[in-house]
Structures are given as C-alpha cells and as structure tokens.
Structure 1
Amino acid sequence: MKKILLSAAAIFLLSSVAACSQTESEGETGDVEERVAAVEVAKAVEGDLTLERSIFGRTAPNSTTPILLQSPGEVDSLEVENGEQVEEDDIIAKVSTPMGKQNIRAPKDGEVANLKAAEGDSVSNEEPFTLIADLATIKLNFTVTADVHKLIAVDKKMTVTIENEQYEATITSVSTMPDDTGLYPVEAKVDNEDRAILPGMVAKLSVPEQQIKDAIIVPTAAINEEDDESFVYVVKDNQAIKQAITVVETQSAETAIEGDIQIGDSVIVTGQLTLSDGVQVNVVKGE
C-alpha cells in the first residue's frame, strides 16, 4: 500500500513539474518581441545619370627651363636648394670660371629642381646646372583609344582626380596621330597655386560618354542581387518590402533603374543584407 501511495505521489510531482515547465516556456515565448531591423534609407529621385570613362595618366611640370653655364668652373656658393621657389633674375649660384666670377640667375619664376652640385664642386657647361620648373600649373599626360579620342576636344573642361582630390582640368592638346603603342596622346592642365600636386602623381580623367535622362536614380548601395534578379527594399509602414527592379545603367555611387518604384520612395541602403520581405524595420538614418 505504501509503495502504491509513493508511486502515485511521484507521478503527481512529475506531472506538476512538467506542467510548470510548459507554462514557463509558453510565458517566455509570449514575451519574445518580433525582430526589428535597424536600417538606413535614401530617397529615390528623378534625374539624369552621366556615364563616364576613367582615363589614367601622370602629372608633370607645366614647363622645365634648364640653366646652362657659359663655361665650366667651380661653385663658390649656392644661394638656393632643390624645391625652393625663385623669381626671375634671382641668384642661383656664384661660379668661378676662366672668364671670371659669374652670377647664375633664374631665367623665370619657378621651383629649383635637379640641382646636384655642391659648393666647391667643379661643374661643366655641357649639361644643365639646374632646372627651373613651373609647378604653378601642372601638365597632365594621357593616352586614349580612338573611341575615347572622339569624346575629347581642345579647351574642353573635365574633372580630374589626383590623390583623392578633384580638380577642373582644361584639355590643351589632342593628337591626331597615334604614338608607338597605337594610342593618341592627350594633354591637359590644372591650376596648382597651393603646390598640392607634385610631378609624377597618378591622375584620373573622367570622360563623359553617355547621359540617361529623366531616370529613377537610387544609390548603388541599395541594389541587391539574388538568383539573377535585381531588387531593392522599400520602407512602407515600417516594413521592408522587396521590390524587383531592372538596372538600366550603374555607376559607383548611383544607379538608374526601372520598376514599380516611385519618386520619393525610401529605399534601404544599409542593413538590407539580413532582411526578408515584410520584416519590421526601424529607420535610424536617412528620413
């Protein structure tokens, strides 16, 4: 009899524990809130998308003027050093020659470059003593293919990027004859009054090629690809709505699209990688 009572008590106890566990589990599940994703958005706008080609070249001084000695001699004193700015007629050096002492002067304004001699050195008159470089204006040297050649013209102003800074460049020369590589040399110039541009830097010339007018423009960051389908997420009633689109043309920053997207729609540009259609979202930036 005692064994029967003990068994019954044990069964009752286990049933109570199981019931409590189920109740707690249900309570915990009920307390879990639906996931809300934090996102950033940008507006879909109507505008023109200009397609550009990027042409790479190098910077160079606008001009370099060599200074040649009239006769060989010995350097008595140097009045300047490499990189120093001089004005026309400034004394560069004093040199003793068989014809007497000579003052070597700057033939024009510019920067001293390629000065190799030191005081007491013997110097020749067969090679330049130094160069005076014009760096107030920088020359840009490019070579282009025939199809890009037709997009460029003398005096045309274009955007050039040097060391992540943008400048307005003016095309000064477009050769009609190709060089040994079969490409056409192109020269441009850009103002460099603050001397931020140095010779030898890489320059990227942006050449406008085509313009798509009155298109729906969204940030390229909003475009998603899956199973050969392009789509964006549009925020409606605090939900991410997946919307299929067709990409017309794309640039690094902006893309022209077609689809059921309205001007002014908020498209998600950050946070969309973990989204699915209908997920609740919280816009933290862009509205």
Structure 2
Amino acid sequence: MKKVRITLAALLLLTMLAACNQDEENNADKKDTVTPVEITAVNKGDLIVERSVYGRTAPSSTTPIMLQAPGEITTLEVENGEKVEEDDVIATVQTPAGTRTIYAETSGEIAELQGEEGAIATTEKPLAVIVDLEDLVLNLTVTAEATSLFEVGEKYPIIINETEISAEITSIGKLPNETGMYPIEAKIPNDDNNFLPGMVAEISVPENKIKDALIVPTEAVVEESGKSFIYIIKDDKAIEKEIKITETHSDQTAFEGDVKKGDQVVTSGKLTLTDGAKVNVVKEG
C-alpha cells in the first residue's frame, strides 16, 4: 500500500512538472511572437470638419423661342444639341401676316426643339429652348443654420460624375422655399461640356475647425470597453496609450493624450497587439 502511495505521489509530481514546463514554453512562445505592423507619424495641426451637401446641376440660363403668331414651319435651320450664336436663323414660319424669320435671342445650345418643316407651330409653347451649358448652376437647399457655412464669392470643392472641381457660390437665399429650406446657387465651369444638367453633385463646406490638435489616421484608433487608445512604437515594442477623442472626421481623428507629434503610431496590425508586444515594422507611411 505504501509503495502505491509513493508511486501515485511520484506521478503527480511528474504531471505538475510537465505542466509547469508547458506553461513556461507557452510564455516563451508568447514573448517570442513578433507582430508585423504598419505605422505613421502622429501629426499636429488643425483638423477641419466638413459637411457634405447634395444638389443638382442646371443650365446657367434658358431662353425660350416663342412665336408671335402661329404658322407653318417652312424652313428649320437647327436641330437639338446644335450650338447657335445670337441672331442666328432658327426657322422661317409662314403666318397669316406673312413669312416670319425666327432668330436666336442669345448664344447657347438648342434643346426641346418642337416640330419639323411643314408642321404647324403654335404660340402656346416654345418652338425650342436655348440653354447655356458653358457654365452650369448647382442648386442646393439647406437649413437656416447651414446657410452660415456658405459665403458668396467663395469656392468650395465638389464631386460630380466622379470628377472633383470647384464651384463658386453666387447666391444665398434669404427666404425659405415651400419645404422650409433655403436655396443656394453655385457656378460650375463646364468649358469641355463634361457635365450635363440634372447631374447630382456633392459639395463640401467647412463646418468645424479643431485648432492645434494631435491628429492620427482614424484607422489607428482602437475602441474597447468604452475606451479609446492607440499603440505607439518604442524600442520595437507596442506601447498602449489611452486617448480622449475630441473630433473624428472620415479618415482623421483629433485627440488628447500622453503622446507627442512625431511619435510612431500603429495603423495596421493593431487588432492582435497587446501592451508591450514585440513588433516588426513592415511599412511606414
């Protein structure tokens, strides 16, 4: 019986020693683990928060070609999409009072052409419309509070048809429309006729400005258990730094914390990191 007890005790001791050795090996493996990361430098400056407003383009001017008297279209000198200059002949119309020549009252492009040679043209609707597409108008509607974000004469970046250009604000409405919103108009250059009326455009205007702030890419920030932190690289190790976010805007975040400009912050690979983990910087940006 005594031998059995001694044997059991020996087996228990060997099991405990094996477990300890296994724990030591696991800890050693963890210490030897090196995580590849991408980093960038903490910046310091002003973070401008922008608001996006959407609107539609329209011709800068539309001039209807109206007849003074109905009659038969005897000649038609233009077609839809054709460019005309002021005083170009549009058509001749045989009316009860005689033949009338219809001229372009302004320069632009023919649109909404009605009728054809031999057809009867009436005075109820335009024979055609001349539209100016060299400059387009961007029509926006905003709340009363948002009108203060815009300034007449200022240019703001817009994205239209996947192209980024600038638009100049030409007017800010003082009275609301039937929906209670305030109209704003901007001018868009269209020298190459890249844009058409009716396109949706996004305009970005500064809404808030955080001055002299520490800034990191938003992708560098980790949110966990109601806290925000980043990883700073020091001596090939990731040091966890808790931060207080003051403003986030798309790809940049302004914050406060025990961090300084120029510190190297992890932007990729952070999700598997722990405080003090060894890292290998594979890309700096």
- What TM-score does the superposition give when structure 1 sets the normalisation length? 0.79
In the alignment, residue 147 of structure 1 is paired with which amino acid? E
Would you say the 8 A contact 2:48–2:206 is kept in 1?
Answer: yes
Cα offset, 1:128, TM superposition:
0.7
Gaps of 5+ in 1: 1-29
Residues 65, 243 of structure 1: alpha-carbon distance in 2 compared, 3 angstrom cutoff: same
Q: 1:207 aligns with which of 199, 205, 208?
A: 205
Q: Report the CA distance shift for 1:35/1:176 in structure 2 as closer, same or farther (over 3 A).
A: same
Deviations 1:15-63 (A, max 9, x none): xxxxxxxxxxxxxxx9999544433322211110112222222211111
Partner SS for 2:149: coil
Instruction: Give the whole-Å Cα distance in 2 for the aligned partners of 1:38 and 1:92.
Output: 71
Matched, 1:111 2:109: yes
Report the equivalent of 1:61: 59
AA at the equivalent of 2:85:
E
**CA RMSD of superposed structures (Å):** 2.7
Tell me the distance in 1 between the aligned counterparts of 2:283 and 2:32: 21
Q: CA deviation at 1:101?
A: 4.7
> C-alpha distance in 1, partners of 2:120/2:274?
78
Q: Which residue of 2 aligns with 1:26?
A: none
User: For the residues of structure 1 that align with 2:265 and 2:150, how far apart are their CA atoms?
Assistant: 36
- Could you list the runs of 5+ residues in structure 2 that have no partner in the other structure? 1-27
Q: What is the percentage of aligned positions where both structures have the same residue?
A: 51
CA distance in 1, matches of 2:268, 2:117: 63
Q: What is the distance in 1 between the residues matched to 2:187 and 2:133?
A: 11
Query: What SS class does the counterpart of residue 150 from structure 1 fall into?
Result: helix
1:263 equivalent in structure 2 = 261
Q: Per-residue CA shift, 1:54-96, capped at 9, x if unaligned?
A: 2222211111111112333334454433233332233334444
- For 2:225, the aligned partner's letter is D
For residues 116 and 146 of structure 1, the distance between their equivalents in structure 2, rounded to whole angstroms, comes to 41
CA distance in 1 between counterparts of 2:47 and 2:118 reads 63
Query: Contact 2:114–2:126 (CA<8 Å) still a contact in 1?
Result: no
State the distance in 2 between where 1:160 and 1:176 align.
23
Alpha-carbon offset, residue 264 of structure 1: 1.2
Shift of 1:103: 4.3
Structure 1 position 268, deviation (Å): 2.2
- CA drift at 1:133: 0.9
Distance across 2 between alignment mates of 1:205 and 1:126: 38
Normalised to the residue count of structure 2, the TM-score between the two structures is: 0.79
Matched residues, number: 258
- Name the CA shift for 1:112/1:269 in 2 (closer, same or farther; >3 Å): farther
